[in-house]
Structure 1
Amino acid sequence: MAHRIRYIMIGGFLGAGKTTTLGKLAAHYREQGLNVGIVTNDQASDLVDTNTLRGMGFDVGEVAGACFCCNFNELIDTMGNLSAEQRPDVILAEPVGSCTDLVATVIQPIKQLFDAEFDIAPYPVILKPSHGIRILKNEQRRGFSPKAEYILKKQLEEADLILINRIDELTNEEIEEISALCDQQLPGTPLIRMSAKTGSGIPELVEFLSQDGDFGKKILDIDYDIYADGEAELGWLNSSLTLTSENEFDLDSFLFGVVETLQTKLEEANLEPAHLKAIGLWEGFFGVANLISSDTKVELSLPSNQKARTSEVIINARVACDPELLETLVNEAVADVAAKQDVNFEFRQTQRFRPGRPVPTHRVSTPVGS
């Protein structure tokens, strides 16, 4: 029988922890002696996630310029180009965090068009507690409109498994509350409580993903007008810049400072971040700082522990605001921190926009086997 690649896609809203989870899974499969490929996805190029995973030594392809569903052929081509010398046993895929309807537009088309090449695993979706609990309780104090919230709810609705992430940051009462909300609103969908950061729950996730069965079949009843408006609410910015200094500067301090300063500016403007990420790259080392919501703290998720005189930096920002305003705030944050640390900076490329209406390459209305 021909070798079939195990295709594992991990969904979830922006900032849910998909990249960290994929890194843990990739490390596990590699330790098992399997060849692992990863495909990341973004509406633009210069993706922090791609550079983070490559920095961990993984073979990573990137589908940029549109989501998997709207760029299906490139997804297939990218998977085909991974490790041309050594065919992957497992491909881990990370879709854009503002996308949903992925069962009908990605999983089922792969099943129906490429069944001989790919073996589809169950489809888990990571729940981000900081936004998820507010949205499931309908208690948004500020932040996203109901149309943007619609996307997160639909992501959970099509999941074969819900991963409640960041349990290391939650109290027992908060974990029980969010579990109960999931049970009430998504009855019958299994739950795993997980911390991608510490690795808690990862063995249970690996076990769930090893199953063969009737998975990836929850085709949504979805309103694409609401979905498109919800995506378009978010300002999207990817910037790449070069830092230089006559004296050594602390790379982690710079990254953390930019994200923290930007958090303050967004707070002052009453704007809700979906996710902010900054990665600094220098001579084989890298560091990552991020923020996932207005009511969480900035985190140095991957410290470089390095001092440098030059570094390449990529900033990804997804915020519920006008993209031009977002670019202004990011530029101001960089300038503020650079001045404090006596660092020179030069922006090489910036892409800013609101995501366009999703137009899937394929959309299956009836799952395989029905």
Structure 2
Amino acid sequence: MITLVPLSGFLGSGKTTTLISAAIAMQRTGRRVAVVTNDPGAGLVDTNLARGGLDEVAELAGGCLCRRLPDLAALLADADMAGKADVVLVEASGSCADLRNTVVRPLRERYRGRMTVAPLTAVVDPLRLAAFTRAAERCEPEPDLGYVFGRQLVEAELLAINKTDLIGDERTAKLEARLAADYPRAAVLPYSATTGVGLEELIRAWTRPNPALESQGAQVRAVRGEPKLDFTRYADAESQVAWLNEAFRVTAAESAFDAVAWAKTVLRQLSEWSAAAGYFVGHIKLAVRTPAGLAKLSVTDTGAPPQADRAAARPVEYGYATINARVVCPPSTLDDAVRAAIAAADKAHRATSHGARPSSFRSAHRRYQPQRLAATG
């Protein structure tokens, strides 16, 4: 029987790092693990990163999970029939909400007794939560993206506080107590996907039997009294974000270039640009696959410095770059900024980028249209 682990969480919360770290840890104990990434666009840094360390990786592109439910069900059926996995970790898009009603409950109802659906887990970035909280305390109007962030917390059955290595034990304990009080229906677990502290407890919460979650009646009681999702605000939030997925080749103008330093320059330029313009950054991820290995860096907040998640060991003659950016700004503005950042990095590190033609887009799903599973016969 397959155990499905659904992960939600806002842009930049660390879902992919959690997914990969947990999958590797479970594989070490003999479990067969598959992962599924999800995004409105195709060509994800996260998918390539997962494929670097895991055997079974699939990407559901072209819409968030609520709109790709039949495709997800088909992937699960294939993994089960082929014996490819006994645990499937599914990562939703960072702007996705209402997963409990549109994905988790339908799967539990359809596959009761044939598949276990673990608690819907929202990966929580404590720094992002603090920023939204400070805005609320200043009585600023709640932005639509802040509304989506809050909905992810409300619907979660497990709140997983990530990045505890950045805030320390005392702040972690206070945040754990606060979330437990504010969301009494959810379990709360702190951990760090980067250091691995607390990861085993999180995995146990996903994989231990919990008959209550498989009960349709329990699910109905769990959502009773909660305000319904405001579909207009949800659609507006998605439509404010410029999404960019771009892949291109980078070669050394002379003998070799440092792919990590090149990528840091691209991301530093974009982070400084976002801060100067006041644009909200969900995340910007940049991976460069080279003969020396994979370099992967990211920026997860406006004006933040680039963080290296994986670094190639030596200068190389060429590499294949993939950039994913999620920024609240006009798509054409993001395209111009990315072109300028790549040009600056090429000049600084004596490299040449080929085929870099940024083409950002906004979510086409102005109307909320979840897909239903076909009737069983």
Instruction: Give the TM-score taking structure 1 as reference length.
Output: 0.90
**Which residue identity is paired with 2:154?**
E
- Counterpart position of 1:362: 372
- Counterpart position of 1:130: 127
- Counterpart position of 2:196: 199
Q: Does the 8 Å CA contact 1:136/1:181 hold for their aligned counterparts? A: no
Aligned-residue offset at 1:361: 0.5
Post-superposition CA distance 1:26-57 (Å, at most 9, x none): 11221121211111001100101000000113
Q: Which of 35, 43, 55 does residue 52 from structure 2 map onto?
A: 55
**Which residue identity is paired with 1:34?**
R
Which SS does the other structure have where 1:14 is aligned?
A: coil
Structure 1 unaligned residues grouped into runs of 5+? 364-370
1:359 and 1:199, CA in 2 relative to 1: closer, same or farther beyond 3 A?
same
**Which residue identity is paired with 2:211?**
G
Distance of 1:144 and 1:194 partners within structure 2: 31
Post-superposition CA distance 1:239-297 (Å, at most 9, x none): 11110113211111111221111101111111120111001112372111001112643
Alignment of 1:1-370 (within 5 A): 4-82=1-79, 86-115=83-112, 117-139=114-136, 146-211=143-208, 212-215=210-213, 217=219, 218-219=222-223, 221-245=228-252, 246-283=254-291, 285-294=293-302, 296-347=304-355, 350-355=358-363, 356-357=365-366, 358-362=368-372
1:51 and 1:88, CA in 2 relative to 1: closer, same or farther beyond 3 A?
same
The structure, 1 or 2, with the larger RCO (C-alpha pairs under 8 Å, 6+ apart) is: 1
Distance of 1:47 and 1:177 partners within structure 2: 35
Aligned-residue offset at 1:114: 3.2
Q: RMSD of the TM alignment (CA)? A: 2.3
Q: Does the 8 Å CA contact 1:130/1:295 hold for their aligned counterparts? A: no
Distance of 1:266 and 1:313 partners within structure 2: 21
**Which residue identity is paired with 2:316?**
A
Distance of 2:52 and 2:371 partners within structure 1: 32
Distance of 1:294 and 1:177 partners within structure 2: 26
Name the % identity: 28
How many residues align? The count is: 359
Which SS does the other structure have where 1:33 is aligned?
A: coil
Structure 2 unaligned residues grouped into runs of 5+? none
Which SS does the other structure have where 1:126 is aligned?
A: strand
**Which residue identity is paired with 1:223?**
D
- Higher relative helix content: 2
**Which residue identity is paired with 1:191?**
V
Instruction: Give the TM-score taking structure 2 as reference length.
Output: 0.89
Which SS does the other structure have where 2:371 is aligned?
A: coil
Aligned-residue offset at 1:83: 9.0
1:140 and 1:146, CA in 2 relative to 1: closer, same or farther beyond 3 A?
farther
